[in-house]
Structure 1
């Protein structure tokens, strides 16, 4: 998309639920930077990420649906659907980095939380043994042909994310909020196939390449139709 004065920028389409997502690679002065943005793990990201000095991809698709159900009260079916249509799991991140072999692999657009960070890193390390860092806010990366430095600004300490169902539970117990016994989620008006060209899904990497055999889960790109959630499953029993 750009080639002027020794600066080359390449772009490619990514699979992210519907058409429009893209990734970028910047090459300049013998150095390279890859930014995939959001999307499913795909062959073109693996191709254009090859040998990059810094390869940044997203990892908002932590494939730990059951843990997220325990922590945030999100139904596992919805969490897995989001991963399988929009995002890159920690196993897939490791596979992309292992194949592309960047000098530094980084992830962004993920939930940084001490409760799940170790699980995320373990998934990446199932495939990738190279240099890795979290792409958190205020992270700074200095790159030369000889070395790479990663550092971050000093920021105030933080607590973990507060699960929204805890706040709802407090409102219910205080009598300020009344919830139904069940909630049926609306079905989408358009399917993924209605919004995204099949060729982009065809570029996705076969999940069997990055899932360890003992945790393999066949991706499901279909929204769970007429999904009904029992409020007590999210908030816990109402009677004390």
Structure 2
């Protein structure tokens, strides 16, 4: 289980599969469990890299405030440590912002797949984001639709266990949320990688129009709506991962 030190924190990451590298970047507070559905579909034809943001899972908390540039630098440290020449980036929420900053600043990004991401922290509903924190009475309400939660009680019992083991809490989660709220995208016309933006039609954290605006301002961006809330890409993982696999295949060379 490799680790790399960056900005005073030891960052944990895991790899699986073999082939072109696909890197997953977490949303605020969430642990690696978030990518279990994607990892199962992608690992094999591709190599996957899943890493814990500072203060999440087995990664140390940062000594000071976090911002998206610092998280992008942490991602660069992970990829450099693992010897990755180039990678397809998949990020959700805060992770999508990290992917945007990384693609603009560093030279390893081949494609971007962004879930429930906006170009600015000003577009983030901070109250709704706070409501997703572990321990709140409605922490799953903004993430998943009622129909999905009611139809899979055993799954949500498992998700609760995973969250208790892996999610960031307290100051560590607050630092991640502040990084998301403080984000301002680089000039989007300079982010030239093929990019697909997916958004939840009922996402309380990032409104559909803000995700669509992000896609429209990227030179090679496209947007697609998904039924559901802030974790719509988990709720509809089979369909979403099929689209991801198609994109990876299209840009395999």
Assess same fold via TM > 0.5.
no
TM-score, structure 1 normalization:
0.27
- Report which of the two structures shows the higher radius of gyration computed on alpha carbons: 1
TM-score, structure 2 normalization:
0.26
